[in-house]
């Protein structure tokens, strides 16, 4: 247990270093844009998160030492997998920050805190395998959580970190608020299970079509938060083309790793997870954008017009993927598609 704690808890040097860190005025300005690419600033990702939390929730919303301990220990509990990693966590939190900054007055401070933390923690301890893989091969986590397996594990890991000494960033809340906040985080993390997205979007669309969507109705509010979480989770599709393309490579690297394991066990993976079908990436992305991403951002834009840039950027990248397919059908993707930057 002591060894486990040693490897999962940040060192004093790490969290104290984060407390001393600061960002340039130029970076603070760039962070406030949806298309900001965090990639070149790896050493500052934790600083970005602290900046966003304090900017969105208030300078005195957290005890800084606890916030820094928590952030650095969360970082330590992300694995070195190609896509579901620390970089993805900060990117998702960055997108949520930008949505919240554009819908000020809609969500309480408690909700804003919960949503930013949920985004940072939504893939904690991800192993690079899908829920279906875990169930297919009777992984212990699948036995523990029968639905939304990894998402429930991510929430469990979040609570475990909060319970570490000096890490409970919500210790100043009363019991009722603390319970409410944990429920906000739990629902938000579970909502990142893409299998739940389709039903959620359908329900929201039906409410909008009927003119019945009421964000003050808690059930409706939970659905809106769900679509916000999906929008943030998929935000790489809204970045400038070079970033979108590189992230696509990371996603497929993870998928192919799972596909390789399936082949070793005599199971033929679906085309998306078969590295021998690399030429199908453009058509796969066109399908994903058309059936998942663009409808998601369209629904979000209908609810929050101030977040409509995400829909615009997703549509631009869909057009670029269509050009890739038309021009190459398997040739070099960088050469085949123009840049939208």
Annotated binding residues, written as ranges, equal: 84-88, 122-123, 233, 285
Tell me the three-class secondary structure of 150-192, residue by residue: HHHHHHHHHHHHHCCCCCCCCCCCCHHHHHHHHHHHHHHHHCC
| Torsion, Cα of 332, 333, 334, 335 (10° steps) | 60
| Torsion, Cα of 152, 154, 157, 159 (10° steps) | -70
- Closest CA relative to residue 196, chosen from 175, 225, 161: 225
135 is catalytic: no
Active-site position among 84, 94, 126, 167: 84
- Closest CA relative to residue 166, chosen from 49, 89, 63: 63
The token pair at 144 is 């523990």
The token pair at 207 is 């409410």
Task: Please give the full DSSP string across 42-86, using - where no structure is assigned.
Answer: GGGHHHHHHHHHHHHH-TTSS-HHHHHHHHHHHHHTS---SSSSH
State the DSSP H helix or E strand holding residue 317, giving kind and residue range, or none if neither. Answer: helix 309-327
Active site residues: 84
């Amino acid at each position: 247990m002591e060894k486990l704690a040693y490897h999962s808890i940040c060192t004093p040097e790490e969290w104290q270093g984060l407390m001393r860190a600061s960002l340039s005025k130029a970076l603070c300005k760039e962070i406030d844009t949806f298309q900001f690419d965090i990639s070149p600033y790896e050493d500052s990702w934790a600083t970005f998160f602290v900046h966003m939390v304090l900017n969105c929730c208030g300078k005195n919303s957290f005890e800084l030492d606890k916030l820094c301990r928590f952030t650095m220990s969360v970082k330590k509990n992300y694995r070195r997998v190609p896509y579901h990693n620390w970089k993805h966590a900060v990117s998702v939190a960055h997108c949520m920050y930008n949505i919240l900054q554009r819908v000020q007055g809609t969500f309480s401070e408690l909700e804003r805190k919960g949503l930013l933390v949920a985004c940072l923690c939504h893939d904690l301890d991800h192993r690079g395998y899908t829920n279906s893989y875990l169930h297919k091969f009777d992984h212990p986590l699948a036995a523990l959580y029968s639905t939304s397996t990894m998402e429930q594990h991510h929430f469990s890991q979040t609570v475990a970190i909060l319970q570490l000494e000096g890490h409970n960033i919500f210790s100043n809340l009363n019991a009722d608020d603390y319970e409410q906040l944990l429920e906000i985080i739990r629902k938000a993390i579970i909502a990142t299970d893409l299998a739940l997205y389709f039903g959620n979007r359908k329900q929201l669309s039906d409410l909008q079509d009927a003119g019945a969507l009421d964000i003050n109705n808690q059930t409706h509010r939970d659905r809106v938060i769900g679509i916000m979480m999906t929008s943030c989770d998929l935000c790489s599709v809204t970045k400038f083309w070079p970033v979108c393309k590189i992230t696509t490579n990371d996603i497929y690297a993870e998928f192919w790793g799972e596909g390789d394991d399936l082949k070793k066990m005599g199971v033929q993976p679906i085309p998306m997870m078969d590295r021998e079908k690399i030429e199908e990436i453009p058509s796969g992305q066109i399908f994903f954008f058309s059936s998942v991403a663009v409808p998601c951002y369209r629904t979000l834009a209908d609810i929050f017009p101030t977040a409509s840039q995400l829909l615009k950027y997703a549509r631009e990248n869909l057009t670029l993927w269509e050009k890739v397919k038309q021009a190459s059908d398997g040739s070099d993707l960088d050469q085949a598609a123009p840049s939208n930057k």
